[in-house]
Structure 1
């Protein structure tokens, strides 16, 4: 089936797209959503230009769309984008990287039903410890770019997720960060033609959407 992938630039969306391709789907385009100004991604707060560079290194086409603030307007814009690409390329499904948050799946199922496409969710209901080890063992390199300040310190920023990283997480923190404990940027892996090189960063403390330490990536190649 020809499909589009919802792309946050993080490990879960990236690995879901990888698994969808392994399942035989034709991944024809990536969708990435930014704030209403088109500056930063909605999911991880990364700059839109950084995500474009990341996608370029995978060789996959990407469509970035600035999204409205209200949840209802977001839903309608999301559906309109899918309908446009259904007509343009004949996509029949959308790949999502969600793992176990039921409210997310309920929203996905409802929206996909309304626009008559199939939700492709290769990671759904996976054990998160087993899943993150599979992501690591498959060769994906995911860099931590944001952490909840009440759970993890700023020293976790910039780390590449590996088995040592997983072992050092506090009890109660999901190994995939599915509850928002941390967010990642994939810099290399099987989908990449070249690795994304992070050359200069700055550590920031942000209080929007809760208190987070954030890795502001200033220069990359």
Structure 2
């Protein structure tokens, strides 16, 4: 199946693209939503989108020699109900517009690669958008054990660099380090638990 890869600049969206290739899909293009230029930081207050590494997404496009479609996030989380219904000015509608634009330019694209792992909130909203556009969601990482996923990503030889910390045991001194270098810290509580 021909697909578009939603990329945030993070390891999960990149790794899910690798899983799509392993499963025989053809990546036609990449797509990214980025923070408004009026935002004072690289990160937005969003339930849906990770934006901290958005500036590196162009490098994905260049390295993969794939077209990149981008759209500024204009909406806010207006509808935070468990089941999403299209809502004016909601940030989810920015994703709809982005993928609708991709479909206009590439009508043969049938699927969307998404790096969501545990957030039902995100997954349901991507599914809603894809249902409206008659596209299939490819979310190979969904529900994976975090420790197993981390090991898989490291073994895949993705050279992931820490650009934000939001995990117990990590702090700002770990920013700019390789995921491999901080892996033991993240795995330490799991390792210690398995000893007892």
TM-score class, shorter-chain normalisation, is: 0.7 to 0.9
> Residue 150 of structure 1: CA displacement?
7.7
Q: 2:104 aligns with which of 71, 79, 87?
A: 87
CA separation of 1:44/1:125 partners in 2, compared to 1, >3 Å: closer, same or farther? same
CA distance in 2, matches of 1:38, 1:18: 33
1:60 aligns with 2:77: no
CA distance in 1, matches of 2:167, 2:147: 22
| Stretches (4+) displaced over 3 A | 38-42, 148-151
Matching of residues 49-198 of structure 1 within 5 Å? 50-71=56-77, 72=87, 73=89, 74-89=91-106, 90-148=108-166, 152-162=170-180, 165-169=182-186, 171=189
Could you say which structure has the higher strand fraction? 1
Could you say which structure has the higher helix fraction? 2
Quote the RMSD (CA, aligned, Å): 2.3
**Residues 162 and 176 of structure 2 are in contact (CA less than 8 Å); yes or no, is this contact kept in structure 1?**
yes
Q: 1:146-197: per-residue Cα shift (whole Å, max 9, x none)?
A: 11398532211111112x522212648xxxxxxxxxxxxxxxxxxxxxxxxx
CA separation of 1:132/1:87 partners in 2, compared to 1, >3 Å: closer, same or farther? same
Aligned length: 170
CA distance in 1, matches of 2:154, 2:66: 21
Structure 1 unaligned segments of length 5 or more: list them: 173-221
CA distance in 1, matches of 2:136, 2:54: 29
TM-score (norm 2): 0.76
TM-score (norm 1): 0.68
**What is aligned with 2:83?**
none
**What is aligned with 1:22?**
22
> Residue 98 of structure 1: CA displacement?
0.8
Structure 2 unaligned segments of length 5 or more: list them: 45-49, 78-86, 191-196
CA separation of 1:76/1:104 partners in 2, compared to 1, >3 Å: closer, same or farther? closer
Q: 1:98-143: per-residue Cα shift (whole Å, max 9, x none)?
A: 1122222222222211221111101112112111111111111100
